């Protein structure tokens, strides 16, 4: 007889992926609804002369992406994404967003028909016709399954250390949202379920761009007032962007963890801010790609890619001038304008909302 236990699988094993594996692996052990084994897809690489999957399965630690934190032994690292996802009921996608489409393609037609996906990826998807879409829509269209999202003020190392924080699930289907909440919530990880999934997801993607602006301010030695102005204008542009492109947008959602909290934490603590600060200090001597390699040990910054994706969207709808912050940050990243021009471009920021 087929098991009625729900299987949860994780596709991705970076800094956040490994942290989520730690939470999910622990939660399924104490909840009789779930199968206790959690398969985690690992993009195979050699670390210290050994396969990363082998290290994780013997040492129960992702020594490259989440060193110093043990993973529960029921989390099993697997290098084959189809093997990880084919028999899962809930598939959590947690990859740098630029790798999502290629990682998902082998899963086409291979998943359980009543499975649902969950995207924790922050960024957009560029379709073959050049159009920009949400990652959750890409999953829905490509894999023919529903896709929820989880976003929030969640710097992975702090969550892995058990420090209190919150996250927001975006789910059109309340039942799936509440089931996912059981998979994720702990006494230090408080989860709220919202129905306007597009807004929850867009907030997560857009805040990384604003964080680059905050990092530029730090690198140019501007004070806290200037940085706060950049963050506030960033929030206004995020809200306007959602109002224009996602009709289900409800302003309450911007005040959940996926909105203002994630924006603040990323603008003070995240890796996008850090790389942007170094970029501004180098004053054009180094590219963002060079700094990412230099500073992040294989981790990815998502902001520059998201800035490019959003710019394609704004340009296509003739909105570049209505979003001076997002537009300027994109132009700085591709070195079309110098970083020192950021604030000049904000002086006549249009009224919003």
Residue ranges of the annotated binding site for NAD(+) are: 12-17, 99, 156, 271, 300, 302
Question: In the stretch 126-155, what mask flags binding to ligand NAD with x, by CB under 6 A?
Answer: ----------------------------xx
**Of the residues 17, 25, 177, 303, which one makes contact with ligand NAD according to CB under 6 A:** 17
15 belongs to the binding site for ligand NAD (CB under 6 A): yes
The interaxial angle of helices 262-269 and 224-245, nearest 10 deg, is 140
> How would you class 92 by CB atoms within 10 Å of its CB: exposed for 0-12, middle for 13-18, buried for 19 or more?
buried
> Distances from the Cα of 109 to the Cαs of 143, 187, 233, in angstroms?
7, 37, 43
Query: Minimum Å distance from CB 299 to ligand NAD?
Result: 4
**Locate tokens 């990859």: which residue?**
95
Active-site residues: which are they? 207
Report DSSP state, residue 320: G
121 belongs to the binding site for ligand NAD (CB under 6 A): yes
Nearer to ligand NAD, 297 or 340 (CB): 297
Question: In the stretch 62-81, what mask flags binding to ligand NAD with x, by CB under 6 A?
Answer: ---x----------------
Query: Minimum Å distance from CB 64 to ligand NAD?
Result: 8
Query: Minimum Å distance from CB 102 to ligand NAD?
Result: 6
The interaxial angle of helices 324-333 and 197-219, nearest 10 deg, is 60
Rounded Cα–Cα distance for residues 181 and 319 (Å) = 37
Report DSSP state, residue 6: B
Which are the contacts of 69, defined by CB distance < 8 A and separation ≥ 6? 18, 19, 22, 61, 62, 160, 161
278 belongs to the binding site for ligand NAD (CB under 6 A): no
Contact positions vs ligand NAD (CB under 6 A): 12-17, 43, 65, 94-97, 99, 103, 120-122, 154-156, 299-300, 302
């Amino acid at each position: 007889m087929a098991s009625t236990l729900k299987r949860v699988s994780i596709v991705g094993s970076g800094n956040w992926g490994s942290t989520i594996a730690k939470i999910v692996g622990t939660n399924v052990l104490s909840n009789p609804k779930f199968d206790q084994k959690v398969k985690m897809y690992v993009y195979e690489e050699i670390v210290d002369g050994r396969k990363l999957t082998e290290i994780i399965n013997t040492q129960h630690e992702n020594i490259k992406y989440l060193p110093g934190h043990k993973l529960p032994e029921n989390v099993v690292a697997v290098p084959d994404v189809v093997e990880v996802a084919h028999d899962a009921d809930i598939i959590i996608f947690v990859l740098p967003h630029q790798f999502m489409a290629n990682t998902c393609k082998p899963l086409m037609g291979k998943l359980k028909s009543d499975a649902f996906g969950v995207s924790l990826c922050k960024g957009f998807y560029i379709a073959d016709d050049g159009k920009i879409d949400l990652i959750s829509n890409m999953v829905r269209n490509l894999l023919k399954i529903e896709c929820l999202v989880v976003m929030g003020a969640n710097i992975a190392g702090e969550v892995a250390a058990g420090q209190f924080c919150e996250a927001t699930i975006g789910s059109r289907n309340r039942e799936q949202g509440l089931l996912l909440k059981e998979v994720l919530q702990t006494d230090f990880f408080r989860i709220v379920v919202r129905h306007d999934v597009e807004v929850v997801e867009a907030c997560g993607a857009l805040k990384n761009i604003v964080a680059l602006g905050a990092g530029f301010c730090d690198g140019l030695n501007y004070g806290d007032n200037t940085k706060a102005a950049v963050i506030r204008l960033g929030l206004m542009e995020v809200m306007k962007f959602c109002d224009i492109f996602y009709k289900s947008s409800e302003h309450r959602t911007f005040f959940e963890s996926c909105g203002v909290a994630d924006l603040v934490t990323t603008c003070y603590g995240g890796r996008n801010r850090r790389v942007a600060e170094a970029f501004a200090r180098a004053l054009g001597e180094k590219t963002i790609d060079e700094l990412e390699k230099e500073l992040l040990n294989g981790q990815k910054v998502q902001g520059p890619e998201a800035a490019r994706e959003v710019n394609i969207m704004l340009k296509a709808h003739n909105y570049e001038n209505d979003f001076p912050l997002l537009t300027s940050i994109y132009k700085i990243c591709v070195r079309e304008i110098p970083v020192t021009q950021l604030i000049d471009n904000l002086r006549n920021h249009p009224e919003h909302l």
